[in-house]
Amino acid sequence: GSLPIGEVSTEDGFRFTCRLEKEDIVYGLGEANRGLNKRGFRYVSSCTDDRMHTETIQAMYAAHNFLIVAGRESVGLFFDYPARMVFDVGYTRMDTLAVTCQRADLDLYVITGESPYDIVRQFRRLIGPSYIPPKFAFGFGQSRWGYKTRADFCGVVDGYRKNHLPLDMLYLDIDYMDHYKDFTVNGEEFPDFPAFVAEMKDRGIYLVPIIDAGVKVEKGYNIYDEGVEKRYFCQRADGSDFVAAVWPGDTHFPDVLNPEARAWFGDQYRILTDAGIEAFWNDMNEPSIFYTPELTAQTRAQLEKAFQDGSYTPNMPARKKPEARGDYELFYHRSIAGTVRHDQVHNLYGFNMTRAAGEAFERIDPDRRFLMFSRSSYIGMHRYGGIWTGDNQSWWAHLLLNIRMMPSLNMCGFLYSGADLGGFGADTTRELLLRWLAFGIFTPLMRNHSALGTRRQEVYRFENQDAFRHIIELRYGLLPYIYSEYMKAALSDGMYARPLAFAYPEDERAKRVEDQLLIGESIMIAPVYEQNAVGRYVYLPERMKMVRFRSLTDREETVLEQGDHYIGIPLEEVALFIRPEHILPLAEKGGQSVEEVDFENLLLLDFTIEESTYEYYTDDGYGKDFENPANRKVFRKSAK
């Protein structure tokens, strides 16, 4: 049938098409590859564990099926469909948007509005409020796959503390567990885990353990035993528990689409919250599958045949992704809608694993905020946790991708988000890490994370630590503003990071800028993302005041006219731009942790021509009394 904005066909699956005018810009799709403007490529919504995010990658860890076609008239489209969906955004034909999926069993929401930003806010009201983390979650975090021993963790904290480098969070990747078993701790390294958690908290450090989707198959491991007994794991067609190999070897997947199983799995987080843990990250929840028993038997036969007849290639099934191998067609969920095969609801798995935790936290301690973020997600999960953008690489291209992805994630409700700063896979460089941190100080989730086997990238391992210290200290100085803008965006269904076009809708140049962002209401940033660059061109949509920070206390202010400017930005410095009639509150005192930041005595940087006002939000950082009028006050500055 025909909609005012396009054609819908349900003859062979589902197909939506609409015409794209030459000047139309397509925003959205949340965690997706390539540019801020999504035109000219094909994107696949199918949560996929693939860390090689080259430009060719079409599917990533998340599925965020919301986009806006912005032109003379703007329209928002949300396709609520939990399985694989293809967005051909001017790829097959440059003038056509085509959205297709296998079954015409979905809800399509069409949102009209005065502007793209108006459409975003309507959509966000529709999908519900964004998750709000505790205040400490806005501090800096250090992570690495490969920290195993108590000495490893203590050594990292020592490295930060003795070099006076601020740090709030230390992440526990898979090696803290007993043989990769969820909700267990390696007893040899941590004989008294609650005491270790308390010792770290005394040093101003929150531990953030990882929780994986797969539960190890092992008799005597109580979570396995109970899950099997109560039929809480995903099952095959014949009613047996589905087995897939992940880090622990053979695992079962909790059936988080079954409300009973979801509540049961969520309640397991209490094992760690009882030990004093207040923060978690969920991983491997696409769900990621290394192989299945069928596959091994089938593959063995195929490989043997291939070797015999000479048809062997490196693309044999063992090397393929679970989706391509058919793994997701092998198991079933018992949802409120009845029994459903996994591939038909695939994109809901990570969402519901994180929802399991979010709902459990309400039972565990309803008055406290917990930090929770996830690798895989679907729209709706933004109510229960944030996301990081998965296993990126130490590539300059991924710094740029991080910049471009932030507004798209915000559009879909994911305000608490960030990428692995410095890159997860491959070897970072001092220069890349400094430039990435100079952008990362503006992302709500600010975490340095790297993979086993890569160069160690804790910031104290590089020469001239002053440069790192000044950039991270600047984050802590900016926290009153960052937290205030985050909270206002979350409480008003707004965006924390916006494209320039959303604030300057009449400016044709601003619409084409993809490497500068508005962070909150007061500032614009223009990060450097090229190797050996000593500066960059910056487009100012209006007169702005540039503030160049050599450190939190050593800064220089210059007013620049509207237009293009080449701005030198040395490797050790951070530049930002204050908009006219706006105020940027800074903490006069930074600190080594969020706890030490003074959110009351503020220094107000501003660019005032006539009068500037700023509504400042702050609270205790733990509770949920968000609407208390005492959390808000207004600052005013008038021209001298």
- Examine the pLDDT at 81 and tell me if it is beyond 70: yes
Is the pLDDT at 321 greater than 90? The verdict is: no
Amino acid at 50: D
Residue 318's pLDDT is what? 63
Which tens digits make up the pLDDT trace of 105-151?
Answer: 999 999 999 999 999 999 999 999 999 999 999 999 999 999 999 99
Q: Is the pLDDT of residue 319 over 70?
A: no
pLDDT tens-digit map of 240-252 = 999 999 999 999 9
Q: How far is CA 268 from CA 15, 189, 229, 265, 273, in A?
A: 42, 22, 16, 5, 9
Residues 605 and 584: their CA atoms lie apart, in Å, by 5
pLDDT at 398: 98
Listed residue (460, 467, 436, 439) closest to 550, CA to CA: 467
Classify 386 as helix, strand or coil: strand
Q: Does 320 score more than 90 pLDDT?
A: no
Task: Please answer whether residues 596 and 164 qualify as being in contact, where contact means their C-beta atoms are separated by less than 8 angstroms.
Answer: no
Contacts of 329 by beta carbon, 8 Å cutoff, 6+ apart: 341, 342, 343
What is d(CA 421, CA 495) in angstroms, rounded to the nearest whole number?
A: 22
Q: Supply the DSSP symbol for 439.
A: H
Residue 380 has pLDDT above 80, yes or no: yes
pLDDT confidence of residue 315: 65
Q: What is the pLDDT of residue 299?
A: 77
Type of residue numbered 595? E
Q: What is the pLDDT of residue 309?
A: 85
pLDDT band at 555 (very low <50, low <70, confident <90, very high): very high
Residue percentage of the chain with pLDDT more than 90: 92
Q: Three-state secondary structure along 536-585?
A: EEEEECCCEEEEEECCCCCEEEEEECCEEEEEECCCCCEEEEECCCEEEE
593 pLDDT higher than 90: yes
pLDDT at 443: 98
Residue 314 has pLDDT above 80, yes or no: no
pLDDT tens digit sequence for 267-299? 999 999 999 999 999 999 999 999 898 877 777
Range 575-588 average pLDDT: 97
Average pLDDT, the chain: 96
Joined together, the tokens standing for residue 38 give 């999504």
In the prediction, which pLDDT does 317 show? 64
Compute the distance between CA of residue 250 and CA of residue 178 in angstroms, rounded to an integer: 15
Q: Which residue has the tokens 């806006």?
A: 68
